[in-house]
Amino acid sequence: MGWMLVLKKLFARLFFPVPVIFLLLAVGLVLLFWPKPGKYGHRAGKILVCTATLLLLLASIFGSRLLLTLTGRYAPIDPDKLPKDNYTLVVPGSGFYRDPSLPPEHRFNDGMLLRLQEAGRIAQALSKRGMDCRIFASIVGSSPTAEKRRALETLLGHYGIPPSRISFCENALTSRREVAAFSKLPGKKILVSESFHMPRLMMLSKRYKLAAIPAPASRGTRNGGIFYFVPSGERIADCERAVYEYLGMLQYLLF
């Protein structure tokens, strides 16, 4: 991974809810307990501490609602309703573990596993209808190419996908590069990823003229029930995920 890409990702994470909240809290506490903060400094400290506390509560209660603004945009596709065509299922990369002692199917992180399982499900259903389709995935990381290929073919083999119908790339380090690579592939594309990631990918698809069918792997809805207004760490994680996606879309609008 290039240094510029690493710096960009580090810089983006400074705008995540948790870093922003702790930065506001830290500055506020310094102003509150500084030996001679002055009248305005003490007041600013109170405002910052109260703001950080309020943001933490909002993220821990309504974070999943923010994520729902992304996950509810596209519904999972029904392969039986797709018209007959020559399809290529394209799967953006998420994560690949370097530990060769793991079984091949366990080399993918949860996000990538979910994407590949959905791609396998769709490809299997299309195959039953007599349509041959291909699966093209993006897998980055420093692991040998042979290990990546073995893991991918083993996992998709459970869905009856032959190795001849499976391919991948290793050099697409960003979603922008992945979509650009997908646009050059033959056949009608089916774009597979998590539901919260799909709006950003479809935004890129329009830019790179990738006429893809969105295939979200899950809608990611949660129902808090009677505990809805109880703060939750999961909702903070959902909030961070949503902020990351919206920051990515903002970047695509500006650059």
What is the chain's percent helix, strand, coil content, to nearest 5? 55, 10, 35
User: What is the distance between the alpha carbons of residues 134 and 167, in angstroms, rounded to a whole number?
Assistant: 8
Give pLDDT, residue 7.
Answer: 67
Enclosing H/E stretch for 9: helix 3-13
Give pLDDT, residue 41.
Answer: 85
- pTM of the predicted structure, to 2 decimals: 0.90
Percentage of residues in the chain with pLDDT exceeding 70?
Answer: 93
Listed range (80-94, 108-122, 220-234) with the worst mean pLDDT: 220-234
Residue 201 identity: L
Q: Print the SS3 string covering 187-232.
A: CEEEEEECCCCHHHHHHHHHHCCCCCEEEECCCCCCCCHHHCCCCC
Output the six-digit token pair for 228: 């809805």
Give the tens place of pLDDT for each residue, 117-142: 999 999 999 999 999 899 999 999 89
Give pLDDT, residue 37.
Answer: 66
Residue 36 has pLDDT above 80, yes or no: no
Supply the DSSP string of 118-175, one letter for each residue: HHHHHHHHHHHTT---EEEEE--SSS-HHHHHHHHHHHHHTTT--GGGEEEES---SH
CATH 3.40.50.300 correct for 79-216:
no
Q: How many CB atoms lie within 10 A of CB 186?
A: 9
Mean pLDDT, to the nearest integer, of 92-115? 95
Mean pLDDT, to the nearest integer, of 190-194? 97
Give CB contacts under 8 A, 24+ apart, made by 48-53.
48/24, 49/24, 49/25, 51/24, 52/21, 52/22, 52/24, 52/25, 52/28, 53/25
- Label residue 220 by pLDDT band (50, 70, 90): low
Residue 46 has pLDDT above 70, yes or no: yes
Residue 1 has pLDDT above 60, yes or no: no
The better pLDDT of the pair 4, 255 is held by 255
Q: How many CB atoms lie within 10 A of CB 86?
A: 11
Mean pLDDT, to the nearest integer, of 193-206? 96
Q: What is the mean pLDDT of the chain?
A: 91
Give pLDDT, residue 10.
Answer: 73
Give pLDDT, residue 5.
Answer: 61
Question: Backbone phi, then psi, for 49, in 5-degree steps?
Answer: -65, -45
Give the tens place of pLDDT for each residue, 9-35: 777 778 899 999 999 999 999 998 887
Range(s) of the chain covered by CATH 3.40.50.620: 79-216
Q: How far, CA to CA in Å, does 129 sit from each of 133, 163, 204, 248?
A: 11, 19, 31, 37
Residue 90 has pLDDT above 70, yes or no: yes
Residue 134 identity: R
Give the tens place of pLDDT for each residue, 158-181: 999 999 999 999 999 999 999 999
The answer to whether 136 touches 95, Cβ cutoff 8 Å, is: no
